[in-house]
Structure 1
Amino acid sequence: MLAALRLVARSAGLCFVILGLVTLGAGLAAAQEPLRQEDTFLRIRLDQRDVRLEALIVRPEGAQGRLPLVLITHGKSSSSISMGDLRASSYATVARDFARRGWLAAVVMRRGFGQSDGPYPSSTSCANLNLAPVFNSDADELEAALQALQKRDDVDPARAIAIGESAGGAAVLALARKKPPGLRGIINIAGGLSIDNCVDKSRDALVEVVKGFQQPGAAPQLWIYARNDELFPPGLVDRMRSAALDAGGNVRFVELPETKPRGHLIFRHSQARLAWLREMDASLRAWQLPTWSPAQARQHFAKLGLTTRADVFERYFAAPGEKAMALSRSNKQFRFWYGADTLDRARTGALSDCGKTWRDCVVAFENDRLVLPE
């Protein structure tokens, strides 16, 4: 299911329309740019047993040497059927956004999810509410997966981050407490765990367990939540953050505006990704880790002789793919589409929208590649 999103920025009496597609369904077309995508399995050792975890690896095709590593992990549904239906490829959009920023991105399905070995290792209930074993078990898996990935010839073991959504967001916070070698940052997107029929008690338990995750010298954390997150509302998130800060945690917090249809689903929602990717880029720069270059974007802007605002142009490079930019050479104006299901769709949309105003529109960028004809 696709829905059009229109963002408008105004400067000096001019109107610049940026169109995006909000992707509400899973699944993507095959790669249409120099990214290498590999469906694979990781073999790790847990509890004196070999465990196989489903994984998706995405990296820049032509990159030389060792790349920084991002470990991407998922949330949890209350339905065991939904857990089995989830696939690593469901997160290809996020993995590809990282690969475009120069990372080797690894989506890892924890035990009991997708095609990974089972069973789901631990659970809790209102009668026996203890969240620490749940998240610590997840962290053990993620640490073992991180170690396996750091052995790859194309990975720099000294530059790694972990990002997770929902229960996966809490899992990467638990991973940070373990302080694995090479882990340089944690990104928690709408992280936590909600127990059905036990909301208030489980929220108190979540605050306490997040407080216990904090360790001196652990990797810095970026937390991102939507204002209308139905599972983790602002009051709860404020309590979690205060507990983490009081315990010495290094937490940068960002609250996104209300996101429709559901505030909890910001991880793969294209409009929300436009917002949280920009915040993530700021943290990556603060952590001295790779992302797209504002200086290079400004060079492109100057070379093209554009008359629109530079910050609107730079927003394109932070935006999620698949994306394309079309510009009018004579009028020095541009339009772009982002978050499309295919690059062809993004290219066609950008050209169509640009062509509504100007007659000489050409595609200038496909994702982050300059493809402007000579």
Structure 2
Amino acid sequence: MYREPVITTFLPRVRTLAHQIASFCVACLALFPLFSVEQELPVDFRLNEQVIMIAAGPDLSASLQTTVFRPNGPGPFPLLIINHGKEPGEPHSQARDRFIFMATAFVKRGYAVMVPMRQGFAKSTGVYADHGCDMTANGHAQADDVFDVITFARGQKWIDDSRIVIAGQSYGGLATIALGTQSVAGVRGLINFAGGLRDDGNHCDWRSELVRAFGSYGASNKIPSLWMYGTNDSLFGPDLVARMHNAFVNSGGRARLHEFGAFKRDSHGMVASRDGEKIWWQEAEKFLREVGMPTEEIYTVAQAPSLAKSNFARVDDIDAVPFLSEEGRAAYREYLGKMTPRAFAVSASGAWCWAEEGEDPDTRALATCARKSAEPCQLYSVDDYVVWQGKSVTGDSGVIASKLAPAPGGGANDSTGASGASGPGASM
């Protein structure tokens, strides 16, 4: 159900269960009111990233904000569609999902990738369909939007409409398995990453409702699936996962369950982690081969440039960090205990922000710091080293743009050479 991030402002951390759960967080000090103008992060030219709108709904009156990644060339490419989860609160406030690490892995293997935001989420229009504790209906309602995206994709000349696989994480995993109750032309397999939906309101027995939903989906299942859950998933523990899977297969559904053990602090966000591919790819590769989808790497995607290490100070020298108050130094001390990837940004006005895990923590730290500071923000440290050059900056918040300005002509090229490089943007 839930999505990134854990956010802290001013006072002790407030934890929010998220689809890219507790480890993918941002913490900041806001010295000034939040500005209404947000930083517009650039798309990733290494992956030919685009954001398009796809018609959806019974009369196609809604538009789904959809991120597209693809290799260079005209195609046709096999297609992966990735379905997102849901964070607490208003769906329209949820940022655009990208699943950049999974998208990169599939573009390398010649796939086009689409990540649609369903109705009511992010900048998609339409109304979010909430059926309360009726988990079966919730999954079907979300699957309807996914079906419309598939219909659109199959009409594109650059898509191989006979080779499609659908994946989903958390609420998106529930929607993906619900989709499998339909006969969908061209869809060969489904991958469920930590799928489910949690509802703590209205005395909802959401665990039993999930078991009932998966049993219903299994009785009408038409597409084989791979399920992947970790043993330290904070939302869907091993006992519940076993009940959901048993209900599905005992009703006639085709699904292989892979439980991969513990992953960092919370396996619920494994697929969104930089280190997740080492966990999910082996089983995904086996499944993709079983359903006749390609698995060999045939393209090279340029590595995003790394920030240069400076000799300004040791990363653990808290007193060396410029501009910080005592509160800021306490935050930096906390930051040093976080997992990598991570980044810490500061400004001359005393604002600070750190981010860990997830997509581009350096970009997220800078962007969030810039929204909370009257002065431009700069990165002080990344992962386990200092990048600060001992200079402050003046002017507007162009630091983010200059850091991420893409090289023209970049993209995913064939394995004889790669070009282009910009750090990808990031959803928070």
Aligned equivalent of 2:285, options 281, 284, 298: 281
Aligned equivalent of 1:53, options 53, 64, 67: 64
The Cα shift of 1:217 comes to 6.7
Aligned equivalents of 1:262, 1:199: Cα separation in 2: 26
In structure 2, relative to structure 1, the CA distance for the partners of 1:144 and 1:254 (3 Å cut) is same
Aligned position for 2:18: none
In structure 2, relative to structure 1, the CA distance for the partners of 1:221 and 1:261 (3 Å cut) is same
- Of 212-221 and 179-188, deviating more is 212-221
SS in 2 for 1:94: helix
The Cα shift of 1:84 comes to 2.6
Asked if 1:202 corresponds to 2:214, the answer is no
* Counterparts of residues 226-305 of structure 1 (less than 5 Å): 226-292=230-296
Aligned equivalents of 1:100, 1:171: Cα separation in 2: 26
Aligned position for 2:53: 41
The superposition leaves residues 168-218 of structure 1 with CA deviations (integer Å, 9 ceiling, x where unpaired) of 000000001112111100000000011115788211111111011125671
Aligned position for 1:141: 145
Identical columns (%): 28
The superposition leaves residues 122-172 of structure 1 with CA deviations (integer Å, 9 ceiling, x where unpaired) of 230xxxx32222111111111111101110110111111111100100000
SS in 2 for 1:228: coil
Which structure's residues are more often helix, by fraction? 1
SS in 2 for 1:271: coil
The Cα shift of 1:66 comes to 1.3
Aligned equivalent of 1:223, options 208, 222, 227: 227
Aligned equivalents of 1:323, 1:267: Cα separation in 2: 23
Aligned equivalents of 1:279, 1:199: Cα separation in 2: 37
In structure 2, relative to structure 1, the CA distance for the partners of 1:76 and 1:157 (3 Å cut) is same
Aligned position for 1:87: 95
Q: 2:167 corresponds to which letter in structure 1?
A: I
The Cα shift of 1:226 comes to 0.8
Aligned position for 2:348: none
Aligned equivalent of 2:186, options 177, 182, 185: 182
In structure 2, relative to structure 1, the CA distance for the partners of 1:163 and 1:340 (3 Å cut) is closer
Query: RMSD of the TM alignment (CA)?
Result: 3.5
The Cα shift of 1:115 comes to 0.3
Contact persistence 1:28–1:93 (CA under 8 A): no
Aligned equivalents of 1:235, 1:288: Cα separation in 2: 32
TM-score by length of 1: 0.68
Aligned equivalents of 2:202, 2:262: Cα separation in 1: 25
Can you give the 5+ residue segments of structure 1 that lack an aligned partner in the other structure?
A: 1-22, 298-316, 325-336, 343-348, 350-365
Aligned equivalents of 1:280, 1:93: Cα separation in 2: 14
Contact persistence 1:28–1:341 (CA under 8 A): no
Aligned position for 1:334: none
Aligned equivalents of 1:105, 1:229: Cα separation in 2: 26
TM-score by length of 2: 0.60
Aligned equivalents of 1:232, 1:262: Cα separation in 2: 11
The superposition leaves residues 71-98 of structure 1 with CA deviations (integer Å, 9 ceiling, x where unpaired) of 1110012211xx3343335423322221
Aligned equivalent of 2:117, options 99, 109, 118: 109
Aligned position for 2:324: none
Aligned position for 1:74: 84
Q: 2:295 corresponds to which letter in structure 1?
A: T
The Cα shift of 1:31 comes to 3.5
Equivalent pairs, count:
287
Which structure's residues are more often strand, by fraction? 1
In structure 2, relative to structure 1, the CA distance for the partners of 1:254 and 1:141 (3 Å cut) is same
Instruction: Tell me: higher relative CO, structure 1 or 2? Use CA pairs within 8 A at least 6 residues apart.
Output: 2
Can you give the 5+ residue segments of structure 2 that lack an aligned partner in the other structure?
A: 1-22, 27-39, 307-340, 342-357, 362-382, 384-411, 419-428
Aligned equivalents of 2:272, 2:179: Cα separation in 1: 22
Asked if 1:164 corresponds to 2:165, the answer is no
In structure 2, relative to structure 1, the CA distance for the partners of 1:31 and 1:170 (3 Å cut) is same
The superposition leaves residues 32-84 of structure 1 with CA deviations (integer Å, 9 ceiling, x where unpaired) of 64x3211111112x23351100001111013x43111111110012211xx33
Aligned equivalents of 2:290, 2:60: Cα separation in 1: 39
